[in-house]
Structure 1
Amino acid sequence: MKTVIPSEITSVQLQTIMQTAVSPRPIALASTVDKDGNHNLSPFSFFNMFSTVPPILIFSPSRRVRDNTTKHTLENVIEVPEVVIGTVNFPIVQQISLASTEYGTGVNEFIKSGLTMKEADLVKPKLIEECPVNFECKVLEVKSLGNQGGAGNLVICEVQKIHIREEYLNDAGNLDQQKLDMVARLGSNWYSRSNENSLFEVPKPLVTKGIGFDLLPDEIKYSKVFTGNDLGMLANIEVLPLGIYSSEENTHLNAQQLLLESKIEEAWKILVK
């Protein structure tokens, strides 16, 4: 493996490695306001949820690597500790990118990006009408992680109210993952898209306990066909089927095709004679 010591490379090199390796990252479109009532809109991919009860979101407007300056969003949440966080999907990704332009103080990125301001119910910053979901949040804490270029500032937010566009709901009234068509940030200028062509399900061993790799028969475990993903699926059963386990390559290939369709039980049926 190539090894890297963070202190021995430049900040730009370190940022490139980390942002490419730690991906995909969801994007928070943060709507804030300063003490004079000027509205600001900016996307951040250092973002995620960290608690359900209480509902906590955290995003990080880092100090700029190139000149160690801070962003308007950070300054705003310190002055007015409220934020609306909108989620980002494919229909608005180009507008979100435009909102990341570093306009001067007082410039409204809503206007520059063509996104629509809408009154929030509980906080001063505006909702972003085009976002699939908007979270009205109170800022609990802004935690600085350093004073050098690239240092993060954790904006810890408690969700007060959630607004969901109804076209992204299914018949049961829940958010539909396929309809959402979410996008995420990768390294450099790359993004990824979570649509019906890229989504897949993985059965979670929460209630059941998979037997694990160690209990797989050698004929299966040491197959020249099965990948780690294949074996992970085959090991995610509670009871190993009894019988003689096939070591034939063609049988394994057939089982692998079933695993690609998440048909674990059917795959085991053809692996056991």
Structure 2
Amino acid sequence: MNNIKTIDPSDITQQELHTYLLSAIAPRPICFASTVDKKGNVNLSPFSFFNVFSSNPPMMIFSPARSGKNNSLKHTHENIKEIPEVVINIVNYDMVEQMSLTSTSYEKGVNEFVKSGLTPIPSKKIKPPRVKETPVSFECTVSKIIELGNGPGAGNLILAKVELIHVNTKYLNNKGCLDTTLLDLVGRMGENWYIRATKESLFEIAKPVKSKGIGVDKLPNSIKESTVLTGNNLGRLANLKKLPNASEIKNILN
């Protein structure tokens, strides 16, 4: 295909590879991690190599990668080796600039809470403090560190088990659940780009868990070969339990 550029990771620089990966794998949620070292020094840093991987047990994983410039370890990584605990604070738009400031390469021992103006509050079960301004924070114990390499840019997977969850109640709906439309979360894109999950930018797609859609292969050729219907249109039609009629097709187009 003439419009496809194929790249072998071994043929480009580590920085170029980093840029391709982070631009393509996006948006990424942000782990705003607070940790302490054995002397009690607090560190607060953001990481977008992050996600939740299990609800039973409740496990999150993030990766403070080695520096691509000088191969140094992140202070977060060093702290967790000494005190295997971390608070994972979730980032929304109201705190994104202060969060970004904490990614500065300050000297070890510098408290990013002080630098950013964010407010530390005591955790209930672990030593690292929480961020008061966050909509949700997770007190976690670290069960394992998996070091993926020892060269520049190598990841270090931090497996964190959730021990307590703290939720600011202004982000709850009338059912007591977190309201996605209120959270105003942000995520990382490539380079200096971020994305903001405003209410206007959100959309819903019903999960096909209660019934089985007929599938695109069962749609008539006249529909599959349509020059009007898009791939999304076909996907929605194929999610129906039976062949769509003319009215259903019209509704999807509208």
Give TM-score, length-normalised by structure 1.
Answer: 0.89
Give me the identity figure in percent: 53
Q: Which has the higher contact order (CA 8 A, sep 6+)?
A: 2
The answer to whether structure 1 residue 21 and structure 2 residue 19 are counterparts is no
Instruction: For 2:163 and 2:192, locate their aligned partners in 1 and report how far apart those are by CA, in whole Å.
Output: 33
The residue aligned with 2:37 is 34
The residue aligned with 2:98 is 95
In terms of Rg, which structure is larger?
Answer: 1
Decide which of 200, 209, 212 is 1:209's aligned counterpart. 212
Q: Deviations over 1:4-49 (max 9, x none)?
A: 1111110000000000000000000000000100000000000000
Q: Secondary structure at the match of 2:236?
A: helix
The residue aligned with 1:81 is 84
The residue aligned with 2:152 is 149
Instruction: For 1:146 and 1:241, locate their aligned partners in 2 and report how far apart those are by CA, in whole Å.
Output: 52
Q: Secondary structure at the match of 1:26?
A: coil
Give TM-score, length-normalised by structure 2.
Answer: 0.96
Instruction: For 1:180 and 1:43, locate their aligned partners in 2 and report how far apart those are by CA, in whole Å.
Output: 18
Q: Secondary structure at the match of 1:25?
A: coil
Instruction: For 2:240 and 2:22, locate their aligned partners in 1 and report how far apart those are by CA, in whole Å.
Output: 36
Instruction: For 1:213 and 1:204, locate their aligned partners in 2 and report how far apart those are by CA, in whole Å.
Output: 16
Structure 1: runs of 5+ lacking an equivalent: 259-273
The answer to whether structure 1 residue 175 and structure 2 residue 163 are counterparts is no
The answer to whether structure 1 residue 139 and structure 2 residue 142 are counterparts is yes
Further displaced range: 216-225 or 178-187: 216-225
Instruction: For 1:207 and 1:255, locate their aligned partners in 2 and report how far apart those are by CA, in whole Å.
Output: 22
Size of the aligned set, in residue pairs, is 251
Q: How far off is 1:226 after superposition?
A: 1.1
Instruction: For 2:77 and 2:137, locate their aligned partners in 1 and report how far apart those are by CA, in whole Å.
Output: 19
Q: How far off is 1:92 after superposition?
A: 0.6
Instruction: For 2:182 and 2:251, locate their aligned partners in 1 and report how far apart those are by CA, in whole Å.
Output: 31
Which residues of 2 match residues 113-132 of structure 1 at below 5 A?
113-132=116-135
The answer to whether structure 1 residue 2 and structure 2 residue 8 are counterparts is no
Query: In the alignment, residue 199 of structure 2 is paired with which amino acid?
Result: E
Q: How far off is 1:257 after superposition?
A: 4.1
The residue aligned with 1:63 is 66
Query: In the alignment, residue 102 of structure 1 is paired with which amino acid?
Result: S
The answer to whether structure 1 residue 232 and structure 2 residue 235 are counterparts is yes
Q: How far off is 1:91 after superposition?
A: 0.7
Q: How far off is 1:255 after superposition?
A: 3.9
Instruction: For 2:197 and 2:244, locate their aligned partners in 1 and report how far apart those are by CA, in whole Å.
Output: 35
Q: How far off is 1:197 after superposition?
A: 1.1
Instruction: For 2:183 and 2:76, locate their aligned partners in 1 and report how far apart those are by CA, in whole Å.
Output: 26
Query: In the alignment, residue 94 of structure 2 is paired with which amino acid?
Result: P
Q: Cα RMSD between the aligned structures?
A: 1.4
Q: How far off is 1:93 after superposition?
A: 0.6
Q: How far off is 1:94 after superposition?
A: 0.6
Instruction: For 1:206 and 1:78, locate their aligned partners in 2 and report how far apart those are by CA, in whole Å.
Output: 42
Instruction: For 1:143 and 1:204, locate their aligned partners in 2 and report how far apart those are by CA, in whole Å.
Output: 34
Q: How far off is 1:241 after superposition?
A: 4.1
Which residues of 2 match residues 153-168 of structure 1 at below 5 A?
153-168=156-171
Instruction: For 1:226 and 1:91, locate their aligned partners in 2 and report how far apart those are by CA, in whole Å.
Output: 40
Q: Secondary structure at the match of 1:103?
A: coil
Instruction: For 1:24 and 1:109, locate their aligned partners in 2 and report how far apart those are by CA, in whole Å.
Output: 25
Query: In the alignment, residue 155 of structure 2 is paired with which amino acid?
Result: G
